[in-house]
Structure 1
């Protein structure tokens, strides 16, 4: 249910969001702390809204939210919550942008992925939740997700899930070919060579070029290709972290050691199930997808810490994850915040974990019940211990572009060529940088 957070968003469907963002910024947007809409925003407003009750519309593609809505209604009988799947990722954002522009049909709560949140907060299209009490919740979340929803002193969403990364590996395949679990990315390349030499049908992983995956590994390597200060933006893929990723991944490409299979396709799941794709470096939300998409491999897979760029280091990154945000044009922001806090920091979190979600809340990430849970699909391994540790090791201060959705959409036309045409990966990244800079400039950003 969480795989959609890592799919590469294609098309330029959100170009007009940025035009809207800059138009609103130029016009001054809303000057009140709540981001617009007229109410002052305070914890007292939230309590009063719950006492009064009312109707809420929540846009989400997360299949765990409908049960949370039912539980919230049971706890607050005066509140009715309508859950709507308005599309996944880009599709929902386009619908949201259209509703904001039209001034009608705007939901009270909307699911927005971390990489997309800043383009809505920049335009003040989502409410600053700090006045309602969100600014007191920082210690409730692991650092990566919390950093993703904050801009300055503002909090523009609450983390609803997270994706601390780990290495999923097929133990059956590794044991058959006597492959040691790689602890560094250099060892990973060596394992890829050994595996493919032993059986040309087996690949260490599948990768045809995905923006989210590449940037997550750059993040883990300590890279900071993006810097953002309001509408001032810098894009630079020649920093040390980007270079580390480029050099290592180029070896896998040159050695034809990556399965030429696109993620989330039937062929990809088949490879995960039959052992021809031996590892995945991805987020903690993956277990449910493996269980349902590759049931034939039940018992074969295990989870290990992410390989390191430097031996002995302990660094990780996030892959995927999303927030619940309150659109500024919503009619009842205080009540919307009450639901958002319930789902992302309150009793709704337990319900979501039970249904397969991976939390961003530290209390749950560190609870004995959560850590000791055994997963039959992974041979009884307590995989949450690996994920929870990864969450504490996420490299701090990562930043996404305020037009990351668009930038990701052109990844395959730029960097993606390196996977199929012999174009050097460094050249692909340089082209991605160039086109992203050009787009940002066209939209009115000051880009370096």
Structure 2
């Protein structure tokens, strides 16, 4: 009960920021107060020679060492790294700073699902002029697709979240259950596990917009289409209905642990083997190591179960990029840092500190692929993650107001978990609410 007002306040603040964001787009108020967009590679070299300072808003801890290394390589440059809050908190602060015209950082970490909101309002810089358009082959398809739209490159991928199935090998071995290769087999394994031990669940899920859209993505669903301010939302496509049909079985048979993700209870369930799998992004290992250390040696990684036997399709779950706000006062120097962190020497530094790469060269390097994880019993899990990254279809789109859409997910789809509302009906309600909001903000809904 005590958390409700706090959540309501956060949502109210976020929605106000989003409404302002859309208003800015529709009234063409996305102009820059800094050096105007485009840029040139020569500007980057000149900025490094001249030196100066940039402010970077990011919550990703591996950037601390990257910033130090960048400063050491360029003694005339100062990088001020600021944690302005994670995801929605930072986005609200960023939009408020853009609206106020002051306090805007030179670089901002933005998750892929949220990029559209800032791209539409022209609040972030097209990096093509600096040479970002030449980096397409540097990145795996999912992250690159997320940062490029309308002929522009609006950020450089920072990391990626190709999905895999993390599973507790000890639990599966104890009950003589095979690791599922398809989602139908996953549902069967869920029944067998829970029947063998009523305290064990195949996974936990109380309603997660990110997981839902990722699994629809993998199933071939494309509920969102976006063309500037023209958008469509349709959860009646085959991929969406395929996901809903299978996940409904898990909900109906009460095979999903009613445990809120990322809570202490959730980590305890992972540690004690009561939550047996996690279909999630490849950035998860560090979280398991720190959050469920007692389960070291019990967990393994397998490819994500498939919707069709014999298929090899994955999806992204999470991941973020570094963007340069249009009102940055030092775009060329900011770009130098972004490219260093996300396409240069900073990539290895971040991967060594636990980040999951978006760069093809790292994903295919022997050093990366041969890394043995003690936590996973010596397994070379990166081989699975790298294959997953290559299997992500690159034609997925998020809504320009996906941050808002995700914030209302549990008002509709979430009721499938709490009020026995059919999942398909919940998706339809989510669609209706998203369409209503889009129309209110001036989007053309097709």
Instruction: Tell me, yes or no, whether TM beats 0.5.
Output: yes
Q: Deviation at 1:395?
A: 1.9
Does structure 2 retain, via aligned residues, the 8 Å contact 1:12–1:409? no
Does structure 1 retain, via aligned residues, the 8 Å contact 2:340–2:346? yes
Q: Which residue of 1 aligns with 2:242?
A: 244
Q: Deviation at 1:39?
A: 5.6
Q: Which of 368, 371, 380 lines up with 1:370 in the alignment?
A: 368
Q: Deviation at 1:40?
A: 4.7
Give SS of 1:273's match: helix
Give SS of 2:355's match: coil
Equivalent residue runs for 1:9-408 within 5 Å:
11-29=11-29, 37-38=35-36, 40-408=38-406
Q: 1:76 to 1:242 in 2, by over 3 A?
A: same
Q: Structure 1 length as normaliser, TM-score?
A: 0.96
Q: 1:113 to 1:283 in 2, by over 3 A?
A: same
Q: Structure 2 length as normaliser, TM-score?
A: 0.96
Give SS of 2:48's match: helix
Q: Deviation at 1:27?
A: 3.8
Q: 1:280 to 1:121 in 2, by over 3 A?
A: same
Q: Which residue of 2 aligns with 1:421?
A: 419
Q: 1:39 to 1:248 in 2, by over 3 A?
A: closer
Structure 2, unaligned runs of 5 or more: 1-8
Q: Deviation at 1:200?
A: 0.4
Does structure 2 retain, via aligned residues, the 8 Å contact 1:36–1:124? no
Distance 2:123 2:147 in 1: 14
Q: Deviation at 1:11?
A: 1.8
Does structure 2 retain, via aligned residues, the 8 Å contact 1:35–1:126? no
Give SS of 2:396's match: coil
Structure 1, unaligned runs of 5 or more: 1-8
Distance 1:93 1:66 in 2: 20
Q: 1:168 to 1:116 in 2, by over 3 A?
A: same
Q: 1:121 to 1:208 in 2, by over 3 A?
A: same
Give SS of 1:83's match: strand
Distance 2:33 2:120 in 1: 10
Does structure 1 retain, via aligned residues, the 8 Å contact 2:66–2:349? yes
Q: How many residues align?
A: 438
Q: Pairwise CA RMSD of aligned residues?
A: 1.5
Q: Deviation at 1:12?
A: 4.4
Q: Deviation at 1:20?
A: 3.5
Q: Deviation at 1:36?
A: 6.9
Runs of 4+ in 1 over 6 A off after TM superposition: none
